[in-house]
Structure 1
Amino acid sequence: MKNYLFLGMIGAAVFFNSCSSNDDNDGTNNPSEQPQLLLSKVTTIYYDNPANPETTVSTLSYNNQKQLIKTISEGRASVFEYDNAGKPSKTTYYKPDGTVDYYSSYTYNGEQLANVKAIYTNSNYNRTVTYNYNTNGQVISSTLCQTPDCSSPGTDTYTYNGNNISSETSTWGGTIIYSNKSDFSYDDKLNPYTNINKYIRIMMGRAYTLSKNNYLIEKISFKNNGIWQQSQTISFTIQYNSSGLPVQVVGKEADGSLSVQYNYEYITQ
């Protein structure tokens, strides 16, 4: 399964999805004068077919203010623009041939990201993700609308334990509704996305980028006739660098077989 830590790459997912607004590591407006380790490369190996593992490589580039300005994955590039306050204002997504696929615009309600709209040449493809927050400024849900009347929304909802998401539930579908849920436990180390702008992390979405620490266990369930049934357990083994950031994460199924491996590289800036 490919729905774990990196989600196929920033901004490429259909769900565009903060850590608490008072998080000391929110990676937002004012870059520290001290050098920081910034995530620069993610190599992901998927073992859906153990005989033929699939490898993807994603790279991240930054400007001299430590703002993420470009990502490349599978030949597709995402280019980020910011306003004077350091908030993302636009992301342009490019096809492998270098032509523009679509762009997204960001709308804010004060210091909170309210929604991200994807705009295509063919407006039938336009979509919007809207975010809701708790009193601590943490995202508690996102809603994806792919039609003007939002007739068949997709939703992600989150339950927190401190600065980490303990449970994430995804629901989608029209006439037939599908739901799955992941429950997580974590280590006490910062995750690789710590120093990326918090609004970009919201747009990226899902539990890993919205949480402070790293998964140790993920329990996956699906809803069958209104009852949650656990179908999968992934256990993660993590190697860290001298700064306590992950450099390799290996996920294994309950039977010990490989599920996924992530290799993280950083630059100092």
Structure 2
Amino acid sequence: MKKYLFLGLMSSVVFFNSCSSNDDNDGTNTPSEPKVLLSKITTVYYDNPSQPQTSTQTLEYNSQGELIKTLSASGTSTFEYSNGKPVKINYYNTNQTLEYYSAFTYNGDQLVNVKAIYTNPDYNRTITYNYNNSGQVISSTLCQSPDCSNPIVDTYAYNGNNISSETSEGGFSFNTKTVFSYDDKLNPYTNINKYLRITMRGAYVLSKNNYLTEKISFKNNGAWEQTQTRTSTIQYNSYGLPVQVISKEANGSLSAQYNYEYITQ
């Protein structure tokens, strides 16, 4: 499971550092069913096993089940909507000073791009989305400069409603490719607005289910070379949603632990 989700939905990350509109569940339930909403994420990273790092984020909703605020150690994000579509997210630091905001652009019911707007326009960034004929996000391009000279491009291949492989190339990051396998349960982000899930960037929220294995490759002389495998063990609640995910490396060492809490409406 990736250690970055953005738009304030994971406490260790901000916009563009780092789901899909494709699946049948678009964040709504029938009136007779309770809506189960993700309310807290606690993540422990074991990059340094002797000093694991813990991050916590809480999520707040309005009476319509729309995400309206996230809070973490790094600050607060607030969400604005128009006719069920997010149109703006405001990002505040720990002093409650607005650092920047993100603006959403649509073409009909399809999210086209999201722009991060700063007081200093040199910091502005844009991420643009491309879709297949089924409405699934097949790529996103992150431009971190006005001329988009060093874009980061994420590309997705699907098996049904799940991403089977995710490739990230460009920018100043390592080129990576990850191949996934999945369970048959809904993931924790299922009832979050579908457009916000698109902006979260990554297979875990773009896919319908929870992945069980990650086979990670890096480019070596232009060819992908698998160097890492992670396996996740998942505990579920009575709604079939994950409450704990423990990710381990191939040698059995801990990679990360994710704890999820929910509310119902």
**TM-score normalised according to structure 1 size:** 0.92
2:57 counterpart of 1:58: yes
Q: Give CA deviations for 1:242-262 in whole Å, capped at 9, x if unaligned.
A: 110000000001011111000
Q: How many residues align?
A: 262
- 1:145 maps to a residue whose letter is C
Shift of the 189–206 alpha-carbon distance from structure 1 to 2, 3 Å rule, reads same
Q: Is the 8 A contact 2:178 2:217 kept in 1?
A: yes
Gaps of 5+ in 2: none
Gaps of 5+ in 1: none
Instruction: Report the equivalent of 1:267.
Output: 263
Q: Is the 8 A contact 1:233 1:253 kept in 2?
A: yes
**What secondary structure sits across from 1:196 in the alignment?**
coil
**What secondary structure sits across from 1:121 in the alignment?**
coil
Shift of the 35–209 alpha-carbon distance from structure 1 to 2, 3 Å rule, reads same
Q: Is the 8 A contact 1:153 1:172 kept in 2?
A: yes
Query: Which of residues 160, 183, 196 is equivalent to 1:187?
Result: 183
Cα separation, 2, equivalents of 1:149 and 1:243: 47
Superposition CA RMSD, Å: 1.9
Listed as ranges, the matches of 1:30-109 within 5 Å are 32-33=30-31, 34-83=33-82, 85-109=83-107
Listed as ranges, the matches of 1:214-225 within 5 Å are 214-225=210-221
- 1:236 maps to a residue whose letter is S
Q: Is the 8 A contact 1:18 1:137 kept in 2?
A: no
Query: Which of residues 240, 247, 250 is equivalent to 1:244?
Result: 240
Shift of the 159–119 alpha-carbon distance from structure 1 to 2, 3 Å rule, reads same
Q: Is the 8 A contact 2:6 2:18 kept in 1?
A: no
Instruction: Report the equivalent of 1:24.
Output: 24
Shift of the 59–200 alpha-carbon distance from structure 1 to 2, 3 Å rule, reads same
Q: Tell which deviates more after alignment, 74-83 or 39-48.
A: 74-83
Q: Is the 8 A contact 2:169 2:176 kept in 1?
A: yes
Q: Is the 8 A contact 2:129 2:139 kept in 1?
A: yes
Instruction: Report the equivalent of 1:227.
Output: 223
Q: Is the 8 A contact 2:18 2:201 kept in 1?
A: yes
Shift of the 184–169 alpha-carbon distance from structure 1 to 2, 3 Å rule, reads same
- 2:72 maps to a residue whose letter is S
Structure 1 position 179, deviation (Å):
1.1
- 1:46 maps to a residue whose letter is Y
Instruction: Report the equivalent of 1:15.
Output: 16
**What secondary structure sits across from 1:149 in the alignment?**
coil
Amino-acid identity (%) = 65
Q: Tell which deviates more after alignment, 210-219 or 2-11.
A: 2-11
